A and B are shown apart, each in its own frame.
Chain A
Amino acid sequence: MAKSNFSFNLLPPKSKEVIAREENRSNSLLYAAFLLFGITLIWLSVRLIDSAFLKRSLDIWNETRQQKEIEIDSYNTYKSANGELVMKTRSLAPVVEKHTDPDLVFDFIDSLIKQTTPNVDIVSYGRTSEGTFQFEGLTSSTEDVASLILEFNQQDQVEDARLNRIREDSDTNKYSFIIDLDLTNLLTQ
């Protein structure tokens, strides 16, 4: 089609100032639209990450936790048996410590006396409620008593050996003595 040679405009031409302002407005609109588009895109991406990944992952973990809880509950019989064993052994621990073989004590005391002070006669053995063992002996010399205490204290099996009492019998000229022994080491060996 041929271009018309008769084109004319009745409106007055826009001033340079108006053209610049309209251009400025147009640019502002473009930047604002970009901002709007950008933030919408970011918002949608965040929503997508939240719902498609995080919430889903959270749901999966929650479900796993519930399943594990059910699994844990299925072991209650074994847990209860272990709980019973733990409670009872805890209660029995101090009692079991008291359960000792008296023969072990008699043999230990007898053999040490025979080796070190054969003149000493044992007239009694005892055990106090605190767990200490004691024995009463008769001898004609106080030196025997001293060396016996020394000897007991040198033994690894003896935690502590102490003279409880010593008394002289004027009729027989003999000394009666009681020695207290803490034999924890011997009984826990």
Chain B
Amino acid sequence: MTGEISATTKKKTTSERGVDEYLRLLKFYYLPIFVLVIFFVIMIFGLIPSLNSIYNNYSQRNTVKKAVERQEVTIANLVQLKNDSNEINQYLESINTIAPVQVTNVTEFQESIKTLATTNGIATKQANTRELIYSEDGSQSGQVSYLQLVEVPSDFVFAGSFEDIRTFLGALYEQDEFIVIEEMSFAKPVNSSDWELSITLNKYQFQINETVLTGSDQTAQTAPNYLAEPESAKPDQNVIDFIDKKYLNKNEP
């Protein structure tokens, strides 16, 4: 028993000695250890955040640089639009002839057709107006169009000689006012010397699509948002060719 106590005391003494030795070493090396601690503090709280900041600024700079490059392309397109502005306005004027942004005076339209018929030696037997037809909007899929094309159809029945009616149809096609022959039946009735032309003529107009204006939009959005179209968007080439040919008398290449 006495031997065991003596061994424990001896062991404790050795362990205490070890602790003392460590403390002594710590005191002896406190300066290099202190410097190392500062090293790690600078690395953790100084260098790493600074490197992170460099990375973030570099990525942000690249993002902004790419955005500026895109803006330069946009500006190049816009400069081109500015150079083409006279041409664009000419086309818009012609489009206003084809389909104005206003309510078509149907009575006036019918009268002008009747006058054209009389001028070409044919009689108007009947002239009726039908309800307006709202066409599907011409916006690209997924977009809401504030501009709606409206058809104003009128039915006519004319009578006259074959040649006179053909001349009248030619005159309808040639006149500046844009009219589309939607339906036509041109026949010679039995027991009649005259030919008869039953025709549906369409006129067109643009109007603001009020169904898409809801709530606060009704006050905020009073005109079509033309700026929503990207500057790189191109007008429909068939319509442009048509305007060139019919209204601007441009020769095709």
Contact = CB atoms under 8 A, between A and B. Distances in A.
A31 B36 CA distance: 9
Interface residues of B, number: 84
B89 interface: yes
Interface in B196-233: 200, 202, 204, 206, 224-229, 231, 233
A54 B54 contact: yes
Interface stretch (B3-11, B57-65, B102-110, B120-128): B57-65
Interface string A93-128: 111111111110010000000000000000111111
B35 interface: yes
A150 interface: no
A86 B47 contact: no
Contact of A61 (B35, B61, B183): B61
A164 interface: no
Contacts of A123: 187-188
Interface in A49-72: 49-50, 54-55, 57-58, 61-62, 64-65, 68-69, 71-72
A134 to B, nearest CB: 9
Interface in B171-209: 173, 178-188, 200, 202, 204, 206
Nearest to B70: A68
A75 B28 contact: no
A89 B178 CA distance: 14
A98 B186 CA distance: 18
Question: Dominant SS at the A interface?
Answer: helix
Given A46-B47, A87-B224, A68 B75 contact: yes
B6 to A, nearest CB: 31
B138 A91 contact: yes
Interface stretch (A8-16, A76-84, A141-149, A154-162): A76-84
A85 B243 CA distance: 12
Contacts of B46: 43
B130 interface: no
A98 B180 contact: yes
Contacts of A72: 71, 74-75, 78
Interface of B: 28-29, 31-33, 35-36, 38-39, 42-43, 46-47, 50-51, 53-54, 57-58, 60-61, 64-65, 67-68, 71-72, 74-75, 78-79, 81-82, 85, 88-89, 91-92, 95, 98-99, 135, 137-140, 145, 147-149, 166, 169-170, 173, 178-188, 200, 202, 204, 206, 224-229, 231, 233-236, 238-240, 242
